[in-house]
Structures are given as C-alpha cells and as structure tokens.
Amino acid sequence: MLTLAIIPREIINAFREHFGSQTKPELYRAPGRVNLIGEHTDYNLGFVFPIALEMACYVAAGPGGDGKLRAYSRDFDEEFSIAVDDLPAAKAAGKWSDYVLGVARELLAAGVRIEGGNLYIASDVPLGSGLSSSAALEISTAYALLGPRHMDPIDIALLGQRAESQFVGMPCGIMDQYASVFGQEWAAIQIDCRSLEHEYVPLPHDVRIIAVNSMVKHELGTSAYRERVAECQRAVAAIHEITPDVESLRDVPVALFERIQDSVSPTPRRRARHVVTENQRVIDFAAAANAHNLEVMGRLFIASHRSMQYDYEISCEEIDFLVDTAIKLPGVHGARMTGGGFGGCTVNLVAPNAVENFRRQLTKAYEERFGKTPVFYDCKPADGAGRVTDPD
C-alpha cells in the first residue's frame, strides 16, 4: 500500500536550496480527493459525495522582490516565471503552470494584489489517477498567494474552478475544488452543487476505502468530457420543451425522467439517465452510510459503475476488469470507477481484515490480464486546505 511521500520540513529545505534563500517560507497544503459516489453530476448542479485525502499538494511560498512570480514544480522538475504586470495577458500553454497562472489571474480579478514571489510545489497526489491532482494544485496555490489575507473558503473553491474551466479549458464542476477546501477528517462531504451547501456524513469505521490506480489514462478523456457536458445540455433542452421548469438535470426526479425519456434522443437520453439516477444514488448512499448499512452502500457502488459503463460510457476495459474482479473477492462490499473516466482509479469498500488478500489477488489478476501492476491507496478522509503549522 502506498504511503505518504511528503515531509513538510523537506519541502522547506528544498525551497531554500532551489531559490538560494535563507528566508523561511510559509507552507500551504491542499488535498486531493476521491469521490465515493456522484460522478459527472457536479456540472449538472446535482449531488456529489467525496472525501478529501491525506495525499496533497504542498506549496512553499516566500518573497521574491523583483516583481516576478516564480514557480518550481518538483514533480516536473521545471520552473517558470512571469512578471506580475504580465499576468492579465497570460495565455495557457498546455502545461502544469497553467493551473498556477489561472489561479493568479483569478485572484487579481477578485481584487487581490499579487506582488510576485517564489513558489516551490511538491505533490503526492498521483497525476492522471482521477484523484484530482489539478484541484489540489489550484487550491494550494490560491492559499499560498493569499498568504495571511482572508478570503471566504467558498470563493477560494470557486476561483479554483474558474481557473480550470476558463483558463485551462476543462469545463469542470465545483466538486474537486470544493472537496479540497472543505474536507474533514473521518467524514465524507455531501455537496449540493447548485446551492453550494454541504453536510458532513460520518463513514462506518469498519470499512476501508481503497483506491486502485489502473496505471492507464486514455487520451479520449479530455475530449469526451466536453462531449458529455454538451450531451447533458442537449438532454436538458429536450426536457425543458416538455417541462419548462427544468433548467438542469438536477431538476429531474427519477419518476419524471422515466415518464418523458422517450422524448429525448438516444445518446443524450443515456447521459441524462446516468445523471438523474446518480443523483438519487448519492442521497441513498448518504442515508446508508448514516445507517451503517454496508450492504446497501456496496450495492449502490456497483449500480453507479454500471451506469457509468453503459449509460455515460466513460469506463474502459482496464477499469471494468478491476471492478468485476474486485466484487468477486471476499470482504469487498462494492467497487466502482471514480473520477473523469477512461482510466485512472477505482474506489473500493473493503473489510479491514480482507485488504491484504484484496490487494494480492487483484494485483495478480491484473498483471496476468494487462501486464501492468496496479497501485493501491488507503484513502482516509482528511481535513481540507490551509497553512501547515510550523513543522520544526
């Protein structure tokens, strides 16, 4: 099982070495997330149910003094710099630095003065895994650039989302950034993506949440994400013609959808069916978690995956294999894909005494079938973003 690789003291020392500074930087952290259920419902203003992770992105921030913003990524071994005066005209370059630039621009637009400085970035959220490394980078950068200045946490989440959707160009919903800001130890967050309200739901202590990285990420993911957004919008337009009160798929209960679904063309119909039923699954999953009903929680996991597999069509052979194999193993209550799709991770509900056999059997089967070794993450709900207290 993968363990955490980030040690705060090491990041502070690395900052000093890289930038040749004796000044002690401030250190900020923002977690990745795993979504337990509620996939592709956030940009349809529905419900999601993520947990923030112990895996996080860390940003050490210190003054620069020359009117430039410099950022170094340990994970890419790359540095970029830009004059603060040039930030408003900056263009996305299709690189990791876009997330930093996008956040800096959003802070400027919100009236926050950016005076430049040095950022040292290190993350143990695996890239391309569906565990939201991008939101962790956005939110940790936002906190680092804000420093001691206060901003409402919901506004931090929203500016991170705008950086990704408007500057980077990925039309994401609010879930990833929201979870990174509002995470709470030992609890999931049931988020209403329309009202932007949330409630914390304690999870049963006799189950482990294990994410399994398929170690594949198919390139179809980015273009298909945009297609799904557009297909959902077409479904809303068709339903709106029949029921004018419907402004998003969030407004469509399961019973209404079943009554009018034949009025929606086949592909948007399937996309809408996933979103409508997935919203209900989030509500049912939260109730099952509160009732400590692992059987129902597992059943909802599997139903969610089948919906993504057949209605939303965002799974892939490797992910389906991991799910289908996992649910046959003893002690596994449920398994499903998590994240945007076309690779990345599955998330599994596993009895504590079954975890080692689960890891061993799933690794063996996956290596035999695909010649790849999956990576396992023990996902413990963690607190959201903020300044890291002095690690001395």
79/286 Cα distance (integer angstroms): 43
Interacting residues of 389 by C-beta distance below 8 A, sequence separation 6+: none
What does DSSP assign to residue 184? B
Q: Average pLDDT, stretch 354-364?
A: 98
pLDDT tens for residues 185-238? 999 999 999 999 999 999 999 999 999 999 998 766 568 888 999 999 999 999
375, two tokens: 């990576």
CB 57 within 8 A of CB 66: no
Tokens 């950086």 locate to 163
**Residue 2 pLDDT > 50:** no
Q: What architecture is domain 208-378?
A: 2-Layer Sandwich (3.30)
Interacting residues of 150 by C-beta distance below 8 A, sequence separation 6+: none
Q: What is the CATH number of domain 8-202?
A: 3.30.230.10
Residue 171's pLDDT band (cuts 50, 70, 90): confident
- Kindly calculate the radius of gyration of the chain based on its CA atoms and give it in whole angstroms: 21
Residue 340's pLDDT band (cuts 50, 70, 90): confident
What does DSSP assign to residue 334? E
Angle between helices 220-242 and 266-290 (to 10 degrees): 90
Mean of the per-residue pLDDT values of the chain: 94
**Residue 5 pLDDT > 70:** no
Task: State how beta strands 68-73 and 117-123 pair.
Answer: parallel
pLDDT tens for residues 97-146? 999 999 999 999 999 999 889 999 999 998 877 788 999 999 999 999 99
> Domain residue spans in the chain?
8-202, 208-378
Tokens 């609890």 locate to 187
123, two tokens: 């993350």
Q: Average pLDDT, stretch 297-310?
A: 98
Active-site residues, by number, are: 176
350/288 Cα distance (integer angstroms): 16
Nearest one of 283, 347, 303, 41 to 175, comparing CA atoms: 41
Q: How far is CA 251 from CA 141, 244, 272, 351, in A?
A: 35, 10, 11, 36
Residue 80 φ/ψ, nearest 5 degrees: -135, 155
**Higher-confidence residue: 262 or 128?**
262
pLDDT tens for residues 38-82? 999 999 999 999 999 999 999 999 998 789 999 999 999 999 999
